[in-house]
Chains A and B, each alone.
Chain A
Amino acid sequence: MAPVELPVEKWTGKIKEVKLGGNGRKSMVIGGETTLPFLKFEGVLPNKPVIAVEVQDAPPKDWPQALVSAYGDALKDPGEWAKKALSFGAEIIYLRLKSAHPEEGNTGAAEAKKAVAKVLEAVDVPVIVIGPEVPEKDNEVLVAASEVGKGQRLALGNCVEKNHRTIAATCIADGHVAIAKTPIEINLAKQLNILLCDVGLAADSIIMDPTTGSLGYGLEYTYSVMERLRIAGLMGDGMPSMPMLCDVGEESWRQKESRVTTGVPETWGDPAERAINWEIITAISLLNSGANIITLRHPKTIEFLKNSIAQLTQAG
């Protein structure tokens, strides 16, 4: 019998390669693929997806016990926390400057600088710095973070339409990458990339965060939008061809299913296990829709995802 020839899709486009780190810090490149995730028989996938682990600038008030016990005292100091994350397998540290939020302490540039410096000092992997997601406040703390990490090619976010000029300007000045976040819609994602390029940020200094919906909370929608963004990029449209980041940790752990311990049917099972599974399923799904960076929280998820990525990249 004649062998069956598998259909192979020929894409004309390529996902942009974005470099993080460098200048004394370990560096890595993400993106660069010429086909959909893990389809090695169809194209080139030069850089595997990476795991970023979340660290916050202050001990989290709202984390469930499963997370708190995994990190223990390290949560008290961002530097220690980053080291712990590294020991769990983090390839990138995703530092969230949560205390800068007006309702979480409203700390300013000085505190931001301190937290960023601690993390940069503690670990040598690439670092992503995320503001409190209040555009004016983001401007303040991210510009400060930018100065501290000058030349070390951090990624700064979130860069949204409202504050894109400021974030782009500081990225250009200090040689960083912007995390361009848009409300889960393909055109809006592309539009923000165009605006960023128009103000002079190089196309290879942008990572898209198309907004993550976790399992049960819009996961399918996120999957579909990411898949369409990726296909548009592979079809040769330069503007949605940036690598993508999914904030799985935050989105997965804030859902009811990851938090409740009592008052739910027995079939829901062990709370900690349920929460970890929630994070794993969300992460694995989005990995398959084209995520280049996945942020995670629980060490077990990190371990699971590392294995999965290794298997998926070896297969096919």
Chain B
Amino acid sequence: MSQQVNTFEVKFLPSGKRVAVPEDSLLLEAANEAGISLDTPCGGQGRCGRCRVKVDSGKVSQQESHRLTKQQIAEGWVLACSTRVVDDVVILEPTKKEREQVVVETADTLTETPLTCGFTFAPSLQRIHLDVPPPSLEDAANDVDRVKRALASQHGIEHARLELPVIQKLAAALRQKNWEVTVTIFDDKSGGPAEVINIYPGKKKGPVLGLAVDIGTTNVVIDLVDLATGRILDRASERNKQIIRGEDVISRIYYSEKGKGLLELQNLVIETINLLINDLAKKHKFSPDEVEDMVVAGNTIMLHFFLGLRAKSLREEPYVPTLIDFPLLKAGQLGVKINRNAYMYCIPAVAAYVGGDIVAGVLSSCLYQSEKLTLFLDIGTNGEIVLGNADWLVSCACSAGPAFEGAGVQDGMRATEGAIEQVRINSNTLEPEVSIIGSGKPLGVCGSGMIAALSEMFLTGVVNKSGKFNVDFVQGIMKKNSRVRLGDHRYEYVLVTAKESGTGKDIVLTEVDIDNLIRVKGSIYSGMAVLARTVGVDLNDVEEVLIGGAFGKHVSAEQAIIIGLLPDLPWNKFRYLGNTSASGSYSALISRAARDTSREIGRKITYLELIADTSYMNELTGAIFLPHTDIARFPSVKQILEKTGRQ
């Protein structure tokens, strides 16, 4: 005897379509029957949250979903793929705007959030207007003394110093506008007297300019800053020209050891900086000579090359740099094309592989002020990790390799226009859906896209826990149109076919790429784990994770957890900060206090050498697995795997 099954009516608004469905049908099935198409890129597993609809009236049986906030649930939002009909219901179809909103919604996406750590705006540089009393037979003091006297009497600046480049300009400048001049004073309050670094006849108009420079291994970024207001006028960035001599720091160190290699590398980075200054000057119509202050942040090796220092000892045990606290330099000493008398402050480093870029990151992220146990990650060619709070800071570096920056991966690219930054794979069809940066056609995959692709391939069973393709499984589902095929480098998954790509070629992720990604993520995770254990804290007790570096902006904390790159913490504990090295450099440019703080941070961070830690290798091999050999460390991933029946 067949059981009586209740039937309920589901009405959709505003279309007014109605269908009658048996009890316990999914809302998604009802919608399909009514001819209403809801997006289900994850294949209706409740993973992506794209099939969101709102219940207007009537009861439904809803499964818990991490895709909906408490507020959304209270408002009546449900996921059609995991909600069952138990009553007559009226459903509001999502508007086009609401649908799009889900796509860009930041619930699981780390968005760039600027931070301020309460520094008062107080640049080291100020421009002062001076009416210097003209000389007479009664008062025939020399020009330099007259300027010093005027500074002391009119502005209280005692014993100002002047160096030759300014002294050479002095006689003409003073007399050109009848003893009326504008001087630029540099005083970083570090103890020495203030210095007149530039002089202009008459009243100088236009902004006081400074540069915040981030020398990255791959990219050099310059922020042009108006030092009268603190406003960033523009940002320019360019590949570090040193790249032609090696993609990573180690190969560049090798290059620097040969012949005039070091000099060439120094020239290449200075050329890159000068080129960017030149571009900014043309665009904003100023003379490079008017730029009078500069702060530089970069890793220890980049700074060694910038200063022309021998770097060999940085790649050999015990990894000793020439120095980590850099002296204040004058632009003219290195040939940086700003005012040659301008000062350049380099943010101090911690050790050979934790540089000023990381100190700048700790500075700009306010980590050194935080009461919370905070993890700071800068993931570039190297992965640097800082753990701590206002009381203590420890750091380590892992040689991650440039995969997340797009290098060493067959179709990898940086997070620029055309890069695939998000991937969803339908768990029923195994077909992918990709989103890219910008509006063109896909050209390659950037770091966040790789994380997304790997996470989705893993969850849908395209690859197994060691990152190898489940070839038979995929072919069983996709038949002849299998996205997994044997390529030049073992098996590969086709993310975008040649027809749809902007390169005219298939965009793939190969098994070799995946091996590489798993090694990189394993290296970063195990660095974090060892660092945490060294100071006796549990990684899962971390209260905030701050991320800087080369990911695309839309790196998903959820997906990074699924592959075991980031510790299994609630998504709201992660914040993506963008280029923290550049922002730390900016802070030091506009605030003397920030400069002092950067020195303090540099001294405060304790460096842990992973190579010297006997437990690191064991941690590393444990982390080279999806998500980790010890699944207990990733309880949320374990839960997802159990749900999808892949455990």
What is the interface of chain A, defined by CB distance below 8 A to chain B? 161, 165, 185-188, 190-191, 194-195, 198, 237, 239
Apart from A161-B466, A194-B465, A195-B464: 9 A-B pairs, beta carbons within 8 A: A187-B625, A188-B621, A190-B629, A191-B465, A191-B466, A194-B625, A194-B629, A198-B647, A237-B630
Note all chain B residues with C-beta closer than 8 A to A187: 618, 621-622, 624-625, 629
Task: Tell whether B646 is near chain A: CB-to-CB under 8 Å.
Answer: yes
In the complex, residue of chain A having the shortest beta-carbon distance to the beta carbon of B619: A187
Q: How far is the CA of A237 from the CA of B629 in the complex (A)?
A: 11
Residues of B610-647 at the interface with A, using a CB-CB cut-off of 8 Å, are 618, 621-622, 624-625, 629-630, 632, 646-647
The CA of A237 and the CA of B622, in the complex, are separated in Å by 14
The distance in angstroms between the C-alpha atoms of A188 and B621, with both chains bound, is 7
A181: min CB distance to chain B, Å: 15
A41 vs chain B, min Cβ distance (A): 30
Q: For A228, give the chain B residue with the smallest CB separation.
A: B618
Q: What are 21 A-B residue pairs whose CB atoms fall within 8 Å in the complex?
A: A161-B466, A161-B468, A165-B472, A185-B621, A186-B618, A186-B621, A187-B622, A187-B625, A187-B629, A188-B621, A190-B629, A191-B465, A191-B625, A191-B629, A195-B464, A195-B465, A195-B466, A198-B464, A198-B647, A237-B630, A237-B632
Taking CB atoms, residues of chain B closer than 8 Å to A185 are 621
Q: Is the interface of A mostly helix, strand, loop or mixed?
A: helix
Chain A residue contacts of B625, Cβ below 8 A: 187, 191, 194
- Residues of B in contact (CB 8 Å), total 15
Which B residues lie within 8 Å of A239 (CB)?
Answer: 629
Sorted from nearest, which 3 A-B pairs have the closest CB atoms?
Answer: A187-B621, A187-B622, A187-B629
Q: How far is the CA of A291 from the CA of B621 in the complex (A)?
A: 23
Q: A187-B629, A190-B629 are in contact. Are A198 and B621 (CB under 8 A)?
A: no
B448-464 interface with A by 8 A CB criterion: 464
Q: Please measure, in the bound complex, the distance between the C-alpha atom of A155 and the C-alpha atom of B466, giving whole angstroms.
A: 24
Residue of A nearest to B629 (CB): A187
Q: Which residue from chain B places its CB closest to the CB of A193 in the assembled complex? A: B629
> How many A-B residue contacts, CB cutoff 8 Å?
31
- How far does the alpha carbon of A165 sit from the alpha carbon of B468 in the complex, in Å? 11
From B471, which residue of chain A is reached at the shortest CB distance? Answer: A165
Kindly list chain B residues whose C-beta atoms are within 8 Å of the C-beta of A186: 618, 621
Question: Of B629, B630, B632, B646, which contacts A198 at CB under 8 A?
Answer: B646
Q: Which of A185, A188, A191 has the most CB of B within 10 A?
A: A191
In the complex, chain A residues whose CB is within 8 Å of the CB of B629:
187, 190-191, 194, 239
The A-contacting residues of B in range 84-117, CB under 8 angstroms, are none
CA–CA, A195 and B461, complex, Å = 12
CA distance A190 to B622 in the complex (A): 9
| Nearest-CB residue, chain B, relative to A169 | B472
Q: For the complex formed, measure the closest distance between the CB of A91 and the CB atoms of chain B, giving whole angstroms.
A: 33
B632: which A residues are within 8 A, CB to CB?
237
| Docked CA distance A200–B632 (Å) | 21
Q: Tell me the minimal C-beta distance from A195 to chain B in angstroms.
A: 6
Q: How far is the CB of B105 from chain A (nearest CB, A)?
A: 33
Q: Least Cβ distance of A202 to chain B in Å?
A: 14
- Contact indicator per residue, chain B 531-556, by CB within 8 Å of chain A (1) or not (0): 00000000000000000000000000
**Chain A residues in 8 Å Cβ range of B468:** 161
Residues of A with C-beta under 8 A to B465: 191, 194-195, 198
Smallest beta-carbon distance A220→chain B, Å: 15
Give the distance in Å from the alpha carbon of A188 to the alpha carbon of B472 in the complex. 24
**Interchain CA distance A187-B621 in the complex, whole Å:** 6
Assembly CA distance A119 to B632 (angstroms): 44
Interface residue ranges of B28-49 to A (CB < 8 Å): none
CB contact list, B470-526 vs A, under 8 A: 472
A1 CA to B352 CA in the complex, in Å? 61
A161–B468 Cα distance when bound, in Å, is 10
Separation of A17 and B595 alpha carbons in the complex (Å):
64
Cα A187 to Cα B625 with chains together (Å): 9
Complexed CA–CA distance, A194 and B464 (Å): 10
Bound: A186/B464 CA distance, A: 19
Of residues B618, B624, B629, B647, which shows the largest number of chain A Cβ atoms within 10 Å of its Cβ? B629
Contacts of B464 in A (CB 8 A): 195, 198
Shortest C-beta distance, B467 to chain A (Å), equals 11
Task: Give CA–CA (A187, B630) in the complex, Å.
Answer: 9
Q: Which residue of B lies closest to A194 (CB)?
A: B465
- The answer for the CA separation of A186 and B621 in the assembled complex, in Å, is 9
Q: How many Å lie between the Cα of A195 and that of B621 in the bound state?
A: 15
Q: How long is the Cα–Cα vector from A194 to B628 in the complex, in angstroms? A: 11
Measured between alpha carbons, how far is A152 from B622 in the docked complex, in Å? Answer: 35
Q: Give the docked Cα–Cα distance between A198 and B622 (Å).
A: 17
Query: Shortest distance in angstroms between B627's beta carbon and chain A's nearest beta carbon?
Result: 11
Instruction: Tell me, in angstroms, the Cα distance from A191 to B647 when the chains sit together.
Output: 13
- Which of chain A's residues have a CB closer than 8 A to the CB of B472? 165
In the assembly, what is the distance between CA of A198 and CA of B629, in Å?
Answer: 13
Which residue of chain B has the shortest Cβ distance to A161 in the bound complex? B466
Report the minimum CB–CB distance from A238 to chain B (whole Å): 10
Assembly CA distance A195 to B468 (angstroms): 11
Identify the interface centre among A161, A165, A190, A198: most chain B CB within 10 Å of its CB.
A198
Closest to A188 in B: B621
Which B residues are in CB contact (< 8 Å) with A237? 630, 632
Contacting residues, chain A, for B624 (C-beta < 8 A): 187
Give the distance in Å from the alpha carbon of A239 to the alpha carbon of B630 in the complex: 9
Report the separation of the CA atoms of residues A8 and B178 in the bound assembly, to the nearest whole angstrom.
96
CA of A185 to CA of B623, assembled, Å: 13
In the complex, what distance in Å separates the CA atom of A188 from the CA atom of B522? 14
- Which residues on the A side are within 8 Å of B618 (C-beta)? 186-187
Query: Complex formed: what's the CA distance from A239 to B647 in Å?
Result: 13
Residues on A with C-beta less than 8 A from B621 are: 185-188
Expressed in whole angstroms, the Cα–Cα distance for A191 and B465 within the complex equals: 8
Q: How far is the CA of A190 from the CA of B632 in the complex (A)?
A: 13
Looking at B466, B630, B632, B646, the one whose CB has the most chain A CB atoms below 10 A away is: B466
Chain B residue numbers with a CB within 8 Å of A195 are 464-466
Closest-CB distance, A165 to chain B (whole angstroms): 8
CB-CB under 8 A from A188, the residues of chain B are 621
Chain A: CB-nearest residue to B623: A187
Complex Cα gap A236–B251 (Å): 45
Chain A residue, CB-CB nearest to B621: A187
Q: How far is the CB of B644 from chain A (nearest CB, A)?
A: 12
Residues in A neighbouring B630, C-beta threshold 8 A: 237
A162 → B minimal CB distance (Å) = 9
